Amino acid sequence: MANYVITGSASGIGAASRRKLESDGHTVIGVDVADTDVVADLSTPGGRSAAAAAVDEASGGVVHGLVCCAGLGPLSRLPGGKLVAVNFFGAVDLVTALKPALERARNASVVVISSSSTTTQPGIPENLTTACLDDDEAEAVRIGDEVTAIPAYPASKLALAWWIRREAVRAEWIGKGIRLNAIAPGMIDTPMTSGADPELAKALDFYPMPLGRRGRPDEIAALIEFLLGPGSTLFCGSVVFADGGTDAQLRQQDWPAAWIPTTDELTRHFKANT
Ligand code: NAD
């Protein structure tokens, strides 16, 4: 049985994942701002290092899987900068800080929660995803505050998905037996979406769900357990959409996208593989 760490374990998808993994006999160390094993605020660098130190101690320095669920939703009242600090930096800094413990487990798995808003919400501020991927937290927070939480949300989740794809294939991750993958849920019934935010409620009313209903947290928990476990060893840098058909309906032939490389991309590709 494995040692798993779940951030955002006190609510919604994180709490459902904890229940599922524990009922299957695994040990779970929860991280959240309250009501869990490791109480830490992942919006600050200090909170993230305190969380990593506490997890290291609680796990005996061996973590078989890390699930980053902690996040703030696109609520009009929230500062966009704080949302970016939690959703992007709170995830990637913790993944990075726990790398030695993941490496010790051999064949570890990391699952982060991105979002289907990455491909379905128009007007994502590109400078915000760039600042995240450049690891410039001060600039990302500044832009997040400027653009506000509603556009900052998909930008933070797009940067997270791209970070996973960029890092997953590097020798320092997959070469050390650590698989990095992301899930992009559609609309899931949790406190994040059932809150009384009028602007979010308006947007969610228009959100197409061919399945005909919202997702349930346990449906995402089942996918998380699969991506953590031995059945998913070929998954590396995947962004798995679990959205009841939203992305397929809105963007049928945008994905899979054919690779039509420029000369520069071809050169980079051959250099990386020789
Ligand atoms: P939720 O609000 O039920 O749970 C989020 C958890 O994150 C809470 O327990 C909260 O305390 C924790 N958290 C927030 N700020 C934190 C901080 N600074 N430090 C530590 N923990 C913090 O939401 P959920 O719907 O279960 O969302 C889980 C993840 O899934 C989030 O990253 C969210 O963006 C993502 N997601 C949700 C949906 C959806 O429709 N619910 C869709 C796509 C993606």
Q: Which residues are catalytic?
A: 153
Distance between CA atoms of residues 78 and 139, nearest Å: 18
Query: Which pLDDT does position 194 carry in this prediction?
Result: 87
Query: pLDDT per position in the chain (274 positions), as tens?
Result: 899 999 999 999 999 999 999 999 999 999 999 999 999 999 999 999 999 999 999 999 999 999 999 999 999 889 999 999 999 999 999 999 999 999 999 999 999 999 999 999 999 999 999 999 999 999 999 999 999 999 999 999 999 999 999 999 999 999 999 999 999 999 999 999 987 677 777 778 788 899 999 999 999 999 999 999 999 999 999 999 999 999 999 999 999 999 998 998 888 887 877 6
- Judge contact between 103 and 145, C-beta under 8 A: no
Of 151, 150, 133, 131, nearest in space to 141 by CA: 131
How many whole angstroms from 257 Cα to the centroid of ligand 1? Answer: 30
Length of the chain: 274
E-only strand ranges, the chain: 3-7, 27-32, 38-39, 65-68, 108-113, 178-185, 239-242
- Judge contact between 67 and 14, C-beta under 8 A: yes
pTM, two decimals, is 0.97
How many whole angstroms from 10 Cα to the centroid of ligand 1? Answer: 9
How many whole angstroms from 252 Cα to the centroid of ligand 1? Answer: 28
If you take atom 14 of ligand 1, which residue's CA is the nearest one? Answer: 71
Burial tier of 124 (Cβ tally within 10 Å: 0-12, 13-18, 19+): buried
If you take atom 36 of ligand 1, which residue's CA is the nearest one? Answer: 115
Query: Which pLDDT does position 195 carry in this prediction?
Result: 73
Query: Which pLDDT does position 196 carry in this prediction?
Result: 65
* Local structure of 113: helix, strand or coil: strand
If you take atom 24 of ligand 1, which residue's CA is the nearest one? Answer: 12
For the chain, give me the number of helices (H) and strands (E)?
A: 14, 7
Counting ligand 1 atoms within 8 A of each CB, the residue from 11, 75, 153, 157 with the most, and so the one to mutate, is 11
If you take atom 33 of ligand 1, which residue's CA is the nearest one? Answer: 71
Q: Supply φ then ψ for residue 177, to 5 degrees.
A: 80, 15
Task: Tell me which DSSP letter residue 126 carries.
Answer: H
Distance between CA atoms of residues 144 and 148, nearest Å: 6
How many whole angstroms from 5 Cα to the centroid of ligand 1? Answer: 15
**Residues in contact with ligand 1 (CB, 6 Å cut-off):** 7-8, 10-14, 32-33, 41-43, 69-73, 86, 90, 113, 115, 185, 187-188, 190-193
If you take atom 23 of ligand 1, which residue's CA is the nearest one? Answer: 192
